[in-house]
Every structure is written in C-alpha cells, then in structure tokens.
Structure 1
Amino acid sequence: MLDETVTAVHRRNLEAGLPALAATRGDPEVRALRVEALSRAAVGMSRGIESLIVRDQSNADLWLWLGRTRIEEAWEIKPEVKARAVQAHRLEAYHTAMEQARQPLLTAAGLAPGDPVPWESMLWLALGLERPRADKDSVWFECTRRWPTLYSANVARLVTLSPGWGGTAQEMMEFARTTAARAPEGSPLPALLPLAHFENVAAERTPMSRGGWFSFDAQREMVSAAGQWSERRIGPPHPRSIEAHNAFGAAFYLADLRRPARGHLIRTGGRYSRVPWSHLGDPESQFQRACGKLNVITN
C-alpha cells in the first residue's frame, strides 16, 4: 500500500497520502515510516501540502507531513562541507529552508500531544541546523517520554551522538549498547550497534574502501547483537525490520562474514536503506553490488 501511495505522490497526487497517514494514528512506528517515505516522495511539492492545509487546518497529519517534507527539501540543497567556502549563499538558503520546518512540526505536536513522530522529525531538524547540544537533548526528551523505543528516533539520537556530528565515539557506543540491551521483544533496536560501528569508522576513514572496516571485537559484538534480535523476534515483522537487515547485512558483508550477510540481505526483499550503505557511496548501487557478490536475488 505504501509503495502505491508513494508512486501516486511522485505523480503529484498528494491527496493519496492522506488516508495512508490517517491510518497510522496511534501506531508511531508505522507513522514514522510512512511520514518519512511520503515526505521524500513529496520533495519539491511542499506548496501542494500547504494548499491541502488551507482546506483542513486542524489536521495534524498534514502539518507533520509539511514539516518533514521541508526537512527533506532542505537536505537536498545542503552544500558539501568542502564547498561551503564558495557556496555561502547556498548554505544560507539551506538553513532558511530547514528552519521553515519548525513551525509546522510544532503545530503538529500541538494538535496531537501524545504523538512522538513530530518530535522525531525535530531531532533531524536540530541535527540539520547544528543546534546546541542542550536543544538536541530537550527534543530527545520530548520524543522519548512519548515513545522511548521508536526506532527512527533512536537512530536520530545515535547520529546526534556520533563523532561526525559533534559527539564522541564513547557516548555513541554506550547509547547503542544500552538501547540494544533494553530493546523489547521483536524490536530491531539491536541494529543500532552496527549503525554505531559504521558511524564510528566512517568518522575516521577517508576515502571509503571495503578493506579493514571492523575490528574482531566489533564483529563479535555485531554478531551477538544480530543473534539477540533474532532470538527475541516474535510475531509479525517490525516496520523497520528491513532497515535492520540492511544494517546487519552491510556490516557482515564488509566483514566478509558471507553466510550471515547473505541471510540478512535476503530478508531485505530487495529493498535497500540509505543508511548504512551511504557510508560506502551511492546506497542503491552499493546494496546491489553486495547482493550481487553474495548471489542474493533482488528483483
């Protein structure tokens, strides 16, 4: 259903997104996933969402969608670090665009006080604007007190704590380990461990290459985390299971642990996630390359 809705939004049929979002009220994991997918599909069409809001100004779904779409639109124009000196005007445009996401998200939060998803989006907003740590911590508090195990919010927090975004490896790894250890049954939160190891190594490596990514201790920790998730996984798949399989699959592929890598990549159903593949280059091509080497059929 989400695939069909994303396709419709790509074709500028924004109204197709409304029932998909309305159906997620009360289910933060699915809501966060759909908001993310539909906002990426709506990049360049935020004015269209504004038009829908004019007709239904008390709809929290629309305000949330608008705010997250503006964040995704801002990421699209963010200049590379090396180009900032000669693209000051583009950096200013990026900050202006990112800041425009704040009010819609606050409106969505006000209309749906128990919903953690606007706060999850504001975690990315605070990250994108490089807000002071105290601001990031306060947004995290608001999110976690509503739904502490929200996968996408925990990923955002992990990135906030990473060395590449002003944090430290020690704090990031401690967060990943503690969160993974406390993950409820069926939750893919143990995947924070491979994601943390990717963030840790990526902050130190340049240029990216396949060899020597993870130490033996890191590999052992990730294997243990994967086992922990598998043993505690019950019931239907978690909405973020595919992302977790991508995280473990990519890590084991780089560690040349072919059998577990193949097992996880098969379970992606041929779907890649931006993270962690973006650490290697273009996410889709890197995913396809790994699947090809492991004889995983992706179509």
Structure 2
Amino acid sequence: MSSAITNDDSGGGRPLTVPGPVTDPFDAFPELAPLRTAAREGDWAAVLDFVAGLDSVDEVCLASHLVAGIPDVENCLQQAVAARPSAPLPRTLLAERQIRIGWDIRSGARAQHVSRDQFERFHDRLRKAEHLLIEVCAEHPAFAPAWTARLLTARGLELGQSEARRRYDRLSAHHPHAYRAQTLLLQQLCPKWSGSWDAAHGFARECASAAPDGSDSGALVALAHIEHWLELEGVEEAAYLRDLSVRNELRTAARSSVLHPSHRPGWDGIGAHSAFAMAFSLGGHHKDAAPHFAALGDRVSESPWQYLADWRGQFAHYRTSALETL
C-alpha cells in the first residue's frame, strides 16, 4: 500500500500518513492471506489445500499468478516439484515464478531500451518455464493455469500471433471465458507486439459479446481502448476517449459485465472496474466512471492505471471528480 505525507494540523508539524489506494490483492482481499503465508513459509501442503478450495478457474489462475510474485518462493516450489513430479500445479507455479523473474529482468521498457544481456537472461528464464509448461499441458490438456502462463512465454519468446492464438484456443476449448488469459492475449494482439488494432478490438468485442451476463470479460473492451489511446499523440490522443462512439461502447460493455445485476464481485473484478474507471475518466465521462469508483472504494488494480505518470495521484483526482457526480 502506498501513502501520501501531509502536515498534521493538530500541532508539532508531525507528518500524518494518509492511506493511498490498496493495490496488493493480498491486502484488498483478506481471504487470500493464508495463501501468502503458506507460500512464504514453504508450506506446500497448505498452498495445495488453499488452491483446491477455490471454486473457479479464474480464481485458480489468479492465485497462481499471485504466488509467482512472492519473493524467493521458487525455493518452496522446487521442493514441491521434486516431491510431486507428476502433479500439474507445482510445475505450473514454478514456471510462473520463472516467468515473473524473467520479466523483471527484462523490465517493462520497449525492446529498443532492453540490453542484450537482459534479453538473454530473460529468454533463459522463459525457456525453463516453457519446458515445464509443455509437459503439464501434454499431460493435463485442460489445466487452465498452464495454458495461461504459456501465453506469457509465447509473447516473451516472440513466437508470433498464430502460436499465441493457438494456445488461447486450446485453453478456451475447455474454459471459454478465462479472464486472465483473455487479458494476456489482448496484449499480444496489440500493435506493440506485432498485432493490429483491428485484431485487438475485435478480440475484445468477441470476448464481451460471448461471455455470460455479469462476467468480467466486458472489461476487455475498456482495456483495448486504453491501449489504443496510449499509442496516439496530440489532437488524436485528446479526442479518442472523448468520442461518443467509444463512450457508448464502454457503457454497453460495462452494463453487460461488472454493472450487470448478476455480476459477482471477486478478485478479477477489481481489475475490470479499474479498467472502466480509467477509460471513462480519461474521456471526461465522470458520471459513467462513478459506479466503478464506488465499487472499487480504496482498492485498485495497478494495471492499467500504472500507464499514467503519478497514477496514484491521478486515481485519487479522478475518483473525487467521479464520486461528486453521485
């Protein structure tokens, strides 16, 4: 959790810590705390019990992603793989951890700003992960976390649009609305990864229209528009998200997904509401952003907000503007 420092008016000039938005899912959802504790302590049995108790593919995929972000967890995961070499989850979690380490080495910079040494170490980590994931997918073809992770290795190893789509299609044949996998393929389909805006927007609309009412998948529409806006400059940039056709498409996607009466708030919902809140805010549609900020409260997903300079400050500013319309 981040914080801002202000002066304490009660006297003495002591700093007063004002909580900023909660970005860590482990803090936003206290029910995730046992997973973090078990992973940090190397208690693989407890990790397995936690994941076994989850009731959706989306929750399992997000839990896998969160475990991968815990520092030094690879030591526990290597032991788990050695103890249960045929089980899919330990190998997938270890692969996700290798992917996370690799992407940290590469950084989020554009390719021209990444050194040759960074690329070599990055690709080495991804190849290790890919080896583990190939085995898991061959043995357990319906195991969603492994196919989801392979979308990241496909992108990082530059295997191309067709291979990334093939992997997604293998996953979606068993789990057609896996939200994290959809967000990863959307990135692949953007021009910055050799895709096109037609492909990116087309996929987002496909996900939104095919998903059941109340699904988080409608947020793909907002994410695609944010990615498109980021690539524009000058007058085009200023006008893009203000365009009424974009606003109307966002409204339709929001009404059928996170604002639908059947939507069930969950872990991925924070990312979905965050995408809509940001897209509407940047377009100046503060009233449309308001229900998303209301649903978020003090929680927010760093993605896609981290694209903005001083994004925490901008989040707070836009949230105030939106909630004033209620």
Q: Which residue of 2 aligns with 1:188?
A: 216
Is contact 2:223-2:304 (8 Å) kept?
yes
Is contact 1:102-1:122 (8 Å) kept?
yes
Q: Which residue of 2 aligns with 1:102?
A: 130
Question: Quick one: distance in 1 between partners of 2:128 and 2:31?
Answer: 26
TM-score (norm. length: structure 2): 0.79
Is 2:52 the partner of 1:19?
Answer: no
Is contact 2:186-2:204 (8 Å) kept?
yes
Structure 2: where are the runs of 5+ without partners? Answer: 1-29
Is contact 1:188-1:238 (8 Å) kept?
no
Shift of 1:134: 2.5
Deviation track 1:91-120 (CA, whole Å, cap 9, x = no partner) reads: 111111122111222233244332222111
Query: Quick one: which amino acid aligns to residue 186 of structure 2?
Result: L
Question: Please, which of 276, 282, 302 is the counterpart of residue 254 of structure 1?
Answer: 282
Question: Please, which of 291, 294, 298 is the counterpart of residue 319 of structure 2?
Answer: 291
Is contact 1:60-1:112 (8 Å) kept?
yes
Is contact 1:95-1:129 (8 Å) kept?
yes
Q: 1:231 to 1:253 in 2, by over 3 A?
A: closer
Is contact 1:191-1:244 (8 Å) kept?
yes
Q: Which residue of 2 aligns with 1:279?
A: 307
Higher relative contact order (CA 8 A, sep 6+): 2
Q: Which residue of 2 aligns with 1:75?
A: 103
Please state whether the residue corresponding to 2:141 is helix, strand or coil.
Answer: coil
Question: Quick one: distance in 2 between partners of 1:213 and 1:277?
Answer: 17
Matches within 5 A, 1:1-299: 2-8=31-37, 11-15=40-44, 16-24=46-54, 27-41=56-70, 43-79=71-107, 80-81=109-110, 82-84=112-114, 87-205=115-233, 211-214=238-241, 215-229=243-257, 232-234=260-262, 236-281=264-309, 284=312, 286-294=314-322
Deviation track 1:125-175 (CA, whole Å, cap 9, x = no partner) reads: 101222122321221221111111111111112111111211111121112
Identity level (%): 23
Question: Quick one: distance in 1 between partners of 2:84 and 2:138?
Answer: 15
Question: Quick one: distance in 1 between partners of 2:48 and 2:293?
Answer: 32
Question: Quick one: distance in 1 between partners of 2:205 and 2:36?
Answer: 37
Shift of 1:213: 4.9
Moved more, 141-150 or 270-279: 270-279
Q: 1:167 to 1:233 in 2, by over 3 A?
A: farther
Is contact 1:273-1:283 (8 Å) kept?
no
Bigger Rg, which one: 2
Deviation track 1:56-77 (CA, whole Å, cap 9, x = no partner) reads: 2222211111111111111111
Shift of 1:293: 5.0
Query: Quick one: which amino acid aligns to residue 34 of structure 2?
Result: T
Question: Quick one: distance in 1 between partners of 2:188 and 2:79?
Answer: 33
Q: 1:14 to 1:97 in 2, by over 3 A?
A: farther
TM-score (norm. length: structure 1): 0.86
Shift of 1:235: 6.1
Structure 1: where are the runs of 5+ without partners? Answer: none
Q: 1:71 to 1:283 in 2, by over 3 A?
A: farther
Query: Quick one: which amino acid aligns to residue 31 of structure 1?
Result: V
Q: 1:100 to 1:220 in 2, by over 3 A?
A: same
